[in-house]
Amino acid sequence: MDAKKGLPLLEKESTEKIIGAAIEVHRVLGPGLLESVYQPCMAHEFSLRNMLFGQQIPLAVEYKGVRLDCGYRIDFVVENKVILELKAVEMILPVHEAQLLTYLKLTGCRVGLLINFNVPVLRQGIVRRVL
C-alpha cells in the first residue's frame, strides 16, 4: 500500500502509466480539441504501451433488483482496475467528479482518474479518486 496516496501499489502503477500516456497525448495534440479526438488517441497510446484496456464500456444501473440500460458508457477501464473518464472542458466541475465516483460505486472499482485535456499543463487537469 502506498500510504501517501492511499492506493494499493498495483493501482498506483496503473494510474502512473495512464497519466504517462495522457501526458504524451497532450504533448502531441495540446489542448483545444474535442473529447472525441482524445479518446481514440488514448486508446492508441495504451496499445503502444501494451496496456490492457476496454473503452466505451456500457454501464447498467440496478434499480429495485432490475438491471436497466440507461445509456451510460465508461470511457475506459484500464488493466481491469482503474476507471478513466476523459474531458475536454473549460474546468472540472463537481458533477464530473460525482460522475466518476458513481461509476466507481456501480462497478466496484476502487480507483478512478478524471483527465481534462483542455488545460495548458495536463497535470492541472488530473483528478484521482479512491473509494
Separation in Å, CA 113 to CA 1, 13, 29, 64, 120:
18, 13, 20, 29, 18
Residue 126 amino acid letter: I
> pTM for this one?
0.89
The domain spans of the chain are 9-130
Separation in Å, CA 58 to CA 64, 119, 121:
19, 28, 31
The pLDDT, as a whole number, for residue 62 is 85
Separation in Å, CA 98 to CA 24, 33, 78, 105:
27, 24, 20, 10
- Give strand pairing partners of 130: 111
The pLDDT tens digits of the residues spanning 84-116 come to 999 999 999 999 999 999 999 989 999 999 999
Specify the pairing of strand 111-116 against strand 82-87: parallel
Q: Which residues contact 8 (CB under 8 A, 6 or more apart)?
A: 1, 2, 110
Whether the per-residue pLDDT at 82 is higher than 50: the answer is: yes
Mean pLDDT of the 57-71 span? 89
Helix segments in 9-114, DSSP class H: 9-29, 35-48, 94-107
